[in-house]
Structure 1
Amino acid sequence: MGFQSMSNAPIAFTLADWQQAFRDGQSPAELLHHLRLELSAADNAWIALASEAQLNAQLDGLSTLLESANGELSTLPLYGVPFAIKDNIDAAGWPTTAACPEFAYTAATDATVVAKLRAAGAILIGKTNLDQFATGLVGTRSPYGAVANSFNAAYVSGGSSSGSASVVARGLVPFALGTDTAGSGRVPAGFNNIVGLKPSKGWLSTTGLVPACRSLDCISIFALTVADAQCVAQIAGGYDASDAYSRQNPNRAPVNMPAAPKLAIPDQLEFFGDSQNQAVFEQAIKRLRELGATITPIDFSPFRALAEQLYYGSWVAERAVALDDMLKNQPHAINPVVRGIVENGLKYSACDAYKAEYIRAELSRQINDALAGFDALVVPTSPTIRTLAEMEAEPVLFNSQFGTYTNFTNLADLSALALPAGMRSDGLPAGITLIAPAWHDQALAAFGQRWQHALNLPLGATGRALPAATPSNSPAPGCVRVAVVGAHLTGMPLNHQLTSRDAVLVEQTLTAPSYNLYALPGTVPPKPGLARVTADGAAIIVELWDIPLARFGEFVAEIPAPLGIGNLSLTDGRSVKGFICEPYALSGARNITSFGGWRSFIASQQQG
């Protein structure tokens, strides 16, 4: 790790780099003041940058946080880490403009997500440019100027979260908040070679967000790596009673994908003549197959029909509701393209809105049914990219093309993760997006990390290599890690009790060398009993499975006596839940510890 510019500003740092810098004793004040001086108000990705006084006030607050944590950096996972937010998200004492100066106000309090990030030690360094009122996928509809693509300034950056994507892609901050209603948290990621996490609706609170379509809005996360985006989401997310659309995670979804995932793709793909984006996508599908995925085309017509509802049906009326005061009192302050789109919402009646909701519900059901049995849908993040000049000539048509594979997602209550997929022959990036039902965010992120390390592309536009993966032995949030030793092993008769509950195999490993294994007489199907002993113990082969937390009780309810679930010690010192056996059942049972595991014992019986 090292500074990436002559001014000693920490450019292209990931979260791990920032964390390591502070573990090494470097000063947050020194690093962040270096960074602030590196940033330029002339860079139109920014609408506002932290003043010296604002930065110092935050650094004082950071010192207080560290004192409260007794100096333990580990309790502040974002200690000293700079971040940016899209300027339709509130930060106390900062103006919120939504890229409309006439609309601007100074926020009295932090948005819930901003408050959570600051409580974890993060430092707000600036607020970023956007398509005005988050209406657009282009990054050009702003009085502060069009944000250029970070690879080629002749091309669009994507929007509406254009500034947030740009500052992350260039390594100015390790992560930034955007928003996503129709794809604004994904399209800019694809155009700038970064990660865009579009969470399940209601996971990240929208309290303190200027609404675009309040029932659909999500606060999204841009980062250089999937691991960083997921880390930030875990900190920023969670139920918020102040947000009427906030939801508790039911913890029923898988937290990972199988080694050989089942992935769907659209049966008919449209690239609007963009052969370069098509080539990157086809190469990505080939790579997914090489990684073990099964790829199956599915009928994309309900997805396409739902996407069209967002702007060509009465759903656009929700945008008119959000801008009601501006449309009545200051219509000419609104960007003409944005105003033209939003004013279309005024022509619809309440009856039209109900009819649109019935269509949404029907198509959403069809979409979720179509995705059942798949781990994710894979689509191009955008079918094409356009130059700034092209966008000026066709601002509505080309914007609509960008939303081909994004507009349906929030209407259908899906989670999504935009990932870098490779470089076009002209040097521009292109991306893919993984889409799955609500609350599959953790599974998408787990596979996204595998994908990112398999491709090993440079980070954003920084030219920096992707850091090596840092494996974690900790179970993912929202699951229980269970060690199975017998009939629930892969390929064994009761393994379906795990797989039918979306449990995912993590690894095969060994218990601590302090167990005996017994073949229990009279059990159907045959089952072993595992018992901890004080002498003559051995390490026994087990498999570790992650079961969604809400499904764990169902699983345990099917376990018959004399078996149960207790705490099991592994050879590397970890403790997990695992199968144990009541002592009374071991009397007269055959000790099969010498086989080292149930599978070897079963094989010996079959050979006999």
Structure 2
Amino acid sequence: MELAAEPAKGSLPLPIATPPAAWITRLDTPLAGAATGPLAGLRFAAKDNIDVAGVPTTAGCPAFARTPAHSATVIARLLGAGASLLGKTNLDQFACGLNGTRSPYGPVPNAIDPRYVSGGSSSGSAVVVATGEADFSLGTDTAGSGRVPAGLNNIVGLKPSRGLISAAGVLPAAQAVDCVSIFARSVGLAAQVLQQALGFDPADPFSRRLALASRPFPAAFRFGVPSPLQFFGDTLAQAAFADAVRRLQDLGGTPVEIDYAPLAEAASLLYGSALVAERHAAIRDFFDTHESEVIEPVRSIIAAGRQYSASDFVQAQLRLRELAQRVQPMWERMDLLLVPTAPTHYTIAAMQADPVALNRNLGEYTNFVNLLDYAALSVPSSLRPDGLPFGITLIGPCGSDWQLAELGQRYHHASGLAQGATGEPLPAPVAIPGLAPEPVVQVAVVGAHLSGMPLNGQLTERGARLLRSDRTAPDYRFFALPGSTPPKPGLVRVAPGTGHRIALEIWEMPLAHYGSFVALVPPPLGMGTLTLDDGRTVQGFLCEAIATEGAQDISPLGGWRAYLQSLHKG
């Protein structure tokens, strides 16, 4: 495998011109799935600690390599659903790391900027999706390995509730808290893969039959924000997270400050207590006879697990249970928790110079999730001014997987981001498979009902959800209606070629509440059918033309927010 040359001392790190083999070892012939099925035609890759029959599993350690006779349960289920397997992906050795540089096969470069780390340990699984080589991939997540690589590569990382996807045939890192995770370029696809992958499996001692919540979070949901927040001096990440909080508010959320100290203490137990003994137990037979074949700092981390007694391990478990009891009341104040997927981003050179401390920083908001039995979804949020991706993670109680996916999909589409490093726009939103359908109507709003405007509460109190921002077809004129309280605009359809495109928001409302909403609309406004810029139609506010006589025509400004801003400038 060809590795990049080291940069000259004192120069900036050079882009790492690493061939794709640095992050994926392709099968000579893709392993074809069933001819038909829900995932037919989709290509996926699997992290190289997940067994594929007849293909060596190395876990990033050549001396450990073994060839299994049977595929992991999750591989078999996805092939049965029609997906085809392309190959196995590179990882931080023995899934021990969050940065993607701890592999004898070389560091896996970031898909957006190859000078930077890709995140780990599921590094190759993230990059193969971000670059478009695979439609989705499998990773594993013990301390954040299914989330950090997603956040650093502008893709989705779905970390399911523990035991939801079978880990039979997966080499464990810490078996009691491991999860098989899913990477995709859209939340909708990740959810579709989850639906095919989940299911109880008696071959996995930690598999569970879980009842998943089947209704979305409330329209007026509450989301926790940790205090204090740590970004390790990265002001761009700090600003990006502030933007994320505002976007969740636009989607109907109310931030709730929560004390992060007990969550941080729980996180510290994963490596800073006898719980690390699970790392050693997972590969004890190999490690104790081939310790020198394991690279640093993985070797030291695993070896540390040997120093603890059984009593130490029990005490660490008891402390974790105490912390779980302590943080449980916070869920009475919030529906979900919002955190940065990673609080900063490091170059490969910086990570290799300080591999322990910087790796720990990447996991600032991840380690506690599996320990406390939560579900999580990492979603792209923005591209920072320096071009690096910034992602957020939505965390919910065990069983909230579909709820997180529904909100995460809306959040991702509101970001306006492209898919991974491909530059391709996001596909249209899809129905989240595990949520019960509810009759709804889409309503376009152009004025006082917009997010943050005086009448927006008439939407949110009826369970309406913001879907997206859009524009009308260029067949409308827009007026500031005099004497209305609160101030309102009037939208009037005109002859083609004589109007403007007007900015609007499209909300989705339960049909059961639509009648009471329409009853609140005062004349001269009413509900009618609006044509959007792409030709689709939607219910929305229209105004009687006679009411606009003498009103200020604000059409050239293109929308109500722009008009209000013009008043302040004036």
Q: What is the TM-score of this pair, normalised by structure 2?
A: 0.73
Contact in 2 for aligned 1:368/1:437 (Cα 8 Å): no
Calculate percent identity across the aligned residue pairs: 48
Change (3 A) 1:447 1:386: same
Give, in whole Å, the separation in 1 of the partners of 2:214 and 2:21: 41
**Partner of 2:300 in structure 1?**
340
Q: How far 1:191 moved relative to its partner? A: 0.3
Q: How far 1:141 moved relative to its partner? A: 0.4
**Partner of 2:151 in structure 1?**
190
Q: How far 1:477 moved relative to its partner? A: 2.5
**Partner of 2:434 in structure 1?**
477
Summarize the alignment of residues 280-291 of structure 1 with structure 2, pairs less than 5 Å apart. Answer: 280-291=240-251
1:262 to 185, 200, 222: 222
Whether 1:326 and 2:278 are equivalent positions in the alignment is no
Give, in whole Å, the separation in 1 of the partners of 2:130 and 2:24: 17
Contact in 1 for aligned 2:214/2:434 (Cα 8 Å): no
**Can you give the 5+ residue segments of structure 2 that lack an aligned partner in the other structure?**
1-16, 441-461, 466-510, 515-570
**Partner of 1:155 in structure 2?**
116
**Can you give the 5+ residue segments of structure 1 that lack an aligned partner in the other structure?**
1-39, 67-72, 484-503, 508-540, 545-608
Contact in 2 for aligned 1:45/1:167 (Cα 8 Å): no
Deviates more, 1:354-363 or 1:258-267: 258-267
Whether 1:367 and 2:327 are equivalent positions in the alignment is yes
**Partner of 2:92 in structure 1?**
131
Give, in whole Å, the separation in 1 of the partners of 2:92 and 2:290: 18
Q: How far 1:543 moved relative to its partner? A: 6.0
**Partner of 1:119 in structure 2?**
80
**Partner of 2:184 in structure 1?**
223
**Partner of 1:494 in structure 2?**
none
Q: How far 1:476 moved relative to its partner? A: 4.7
Contact in 1 for aligned 2:256/2:333 (Cα 8 Å): no
1:417 to 374, 377, 382: 377
Q: How far 1:371 moved relative to its partner? A: 2.1
1:49 to 21, 26, 40: 26
Q: How far 1:478 moved relative to its partner? A: 6.5
1:354 to 311, 314, 321: 314
Secondary structure at 1:219's aligned position in 2? strand
Secondary structure at 1:336's aligned position in 2? coil
2:133 to 143, 166, 172: 172
Give, in whole Å, the separation in 1 of the partners of 2:366 and 2:428: 31
Give, in whole Å, the separation in 1 of the partners of 2:269 and 2:375: 19
Which amino acid is 2:101 matched to? T
Give, in whole Å, the separation in 2 of the partners of 1:506 and 1:349: 54
**Partner of 2:484 in structure 1?**
none
Contact in 1 for aligned 2:25/2:87 (Cα 8 Å): yes
Q: How far 1:374 moved relative to its partner? A: 1.5
Which amino acid is 1:291 matched to? L
Give, in whole Å, the separation in 1 of the partners of 2:411 and 2:177: 28
Contact in 2 for aligned 1:224/1:460 (Cα 8 Å): yes
Q: How far 1:42 moved relative to its partner? A: 3.6
**Partner of 2:400 in structure 1?**
440
Summarize the alignment of residues 22-61 of structure 1 with structure 2, pairs less than 5 Å apart. Answer: 42-52=19-29, 55=30, 58-59=31-32
Secondary structure at 2:368's aligned position in 1? coil
Give, in whole Å, the separation in 2 of the partners of 1:161 and 1:368: 30
Which amino acid is 2:323 matched to? L
What do you get for the CA RMSD once the two structures are aligned?
2.1
Contact in 2 for aligned 1:100/1:334 (Cα 8 Å): yes
Give, in whole Å, the separation in 2 of the partners of 1:462 and 1:407: 30
Summarize the alignment of residues 561-572 of structure 1 with structure 2, pairs less than 5 Å apart. Answer: none
Secondary structure at 2:370's aligned position in 1? coil
Contact in 2 for aligned 1:255/1:476 (Cα 8 Å): no
Which amino acid is 2:193 matched to? V
**Partner of 2:454 in structure 1?**
none
Contact in 1 for aligned 2:267/2:367 (Cα 8 Å): yes
Q: How far 1:46 moved relative to its partner? A: 3.4
CA deviations 1:87-121 (Å, max 9, x no partner) are 00011111110000110111111100000000011
Give, in whole Å, the separation in 2 of the partners of 1:213 and 1:205: 15
Q: List, as ranges, runs of 4+ consecutive aligned residues in structure 1 with deviation greater than 3 Å.
A: 44-47, 478-483, 504-507, 541-544
**Partner of 1:382 in structure 2?**
342
Contact in 2 for aligned 1:137/1:399 (Cα 8 Å): yes
Which amino acid is 1:318 matched to? E
**Partner of 2:492 in structure 1?**
none
Give, in whole Å, the separation in 1 of the partners of 2:148 and 2:134: 19
